[in-house]
Amino acid sequence: MGSRGIATAALLILVALTCIAIAKRLEGERRMIRKLRELRAGDTSKTIPLDDLDDIERDTFERLRAAGVVRMDRTRGYINPDALRAFRGKRMRFAITGAMFALLLAVAIAYIVLH
């Protein structure tokens, strides 16, 4: 009976850590988009210098580039406004779907433990 409780706690901790990791990634992307917009300051043709980004920001920028939200040449980045709108919608659906899945998984684990 004790191992069942430990397994339940481990699974619930795993669900919580996964939620935290996903939330951290989404928050990093949100901050990067805001930073890029501030650097651009409303001029859609203005480029964004990439030399000032730290390693974490560069990783986030690369994920956004892979998603098509930004494009870059050697040392400059450009925001793609149309792709940004689509990306925001996809990101919101991903967050809501993930939260619902985590809730259902936690309820299923609790149900298994109680029965």
- DSSP per residue, 18-62: HHHHHHHHHHHHHHHHHHHHHHHTT-TT--EE-TT--HHHHHHHH
Asked if 1 and 92 count as a contact pair (C-beta separation under 8 A), the reply is no
State pLDDT tens for residues 16-34: 888 888 888 888 888 888 8
**pTM of the predicted model over 0.75:** no
Name the band, by pLDDT with cuts 50, 70 and 90, for residue 46.
Answer: low
Range 62-81 average pLDDT: 80
Mean pLDDT for the stretch of residues 8-15: 83
* Phi, psi of 76, deg, nearest 5: -130, 150
